Amino acid sequence: MELNNKRLPLEGIKIVDLTRVLSGPFCTALLSDLGADIIKVEPPAGDEYRHVGPFKEGESALFTLMNRNKKGVVADLKNSSHLARVLELASDADVFVENFKPGVAERLGVGYEAVKAVNPDIIYASISGFGQSGENSQLPAYDLVVQAMSGMMAITGEKDGEPTKVGESIADLVAGLYASWAILAALFDRQRSGEGVHLDIAMLDCLFSLMPTPVAQWMFGGEAPGRVGNRHPLSTPFGSFSAQNGQVIIAVLNNRQFTALCGAMDQPTIAEDSRFCSDEERTRHEPELRDLIETWLARHSVESAIDILAAAGIPSSPVLGMGEALTNARHGERQLLPTQHHPRLGDIPMMAQPVRASSWKTSAPQTAPTLGEHNDELFDQ
């Protein structure tokens, strides 16, 4: 259901999607939100995410979220007639996306050269764990493996604790995000050059690119950084602090904010202490400063502390539980979980791309396809 009469920027763009699980489907879901026509090609057994819970009436929540707004066909690529039909779908497509292990698409007859042969201007995106070539290219690449190999796990967690994974499949998601970004850049470039391109998106590369802070520490500090828990490794006080009934986030990035924090705590002289005269000195003396802040917070609930800090212009927040965050996303003004009508499940919340644009229309997400739902329309002709 269209909610206004504005346009979507990718209307008329056709994408053949041979991806499964998370990184590739997330990429194409983002593009579908912008109006692209996505044809999802699945093997006879379906995308693996169809079989991963939680389920409701046999429908996978993860599959539903990641495959919104798509049409779906089933093809056995080892069947020559099915392969020919997939290549026919690709022949007038703008984009072809796959996230097989490197070499598999070629063996199945849908590698870059095979698709380029039927569509010379194709934008062909390959998403993998470690890239299309190199010594690690054939390694299995689940998100947890990539998080471990990227260094992100090594800098996540308490200082004296174990390396800790991020609480979401961040390597898969950032690879999908970068893939969508690269596809958009390639579409723009093709308008000027008239040429297609093969995009090589590696989960490891993408995740590593999200770590400028540890890279900066290593560049000029000479040593690889370790874990520091919930505080910022370079700025202080910038982290999580204990109040009477929970944790308060305080994020101070400069001397002006620190002076305001000291005033909010009714201890303005702390700002004049030589141990706390600069961000670097505050970080060097972080334990002493933490004691002073948490002594003050011990007299306050999270709610009252946030009120005081907000009045002083200090960036701060409570640490919300996921339930609270979901409620805010569902019912807040930004509508991060708009309603989708599912033919079997009725009205359900659905994720959508979060960017707002003044001239783009907003549409309610459409349900993910059932297995082979659009074969009659697109494939068995």
How far apart CA 10 and CA 13 sit, in angstroms, is 6
Looking up tokens 């042969």, which residue turns up?
Answer: 117
Catalytic one of 51, 82, 198, 232: 232
Q: Provide the residue count of the chain.
A: 381
- Active-site residue, 331 included: no
| Residue 328 to residue 293: CA distance in whole angstroms | 29
Element (H, E) at 13: none
Dihedral sign for Cα atoms in the order 104, 51, 58, 45: positive
Q: What backbone torsions phi and psi does residue 87 show, to the nearest 5 degrees?
A: -65, -30
Q: Would you call the peptide bond into 237 cis, given omega within 30 degrees of 0 as the criterion?
A: yes
Question: What letter would DSSP give residue 111?
Answer: S
DSSP string of 40-63? EEE-TT--GGGGSS-EETTEEHHH
Structure tokens at 306: 């946030």
Q: What are phi and psi of 209, to 5 degrees?
A: -65, -15
Q: Is 146 within 8 Å of 211 (Cβ atoms)?
A: no
Residues with active-site annotation? 232
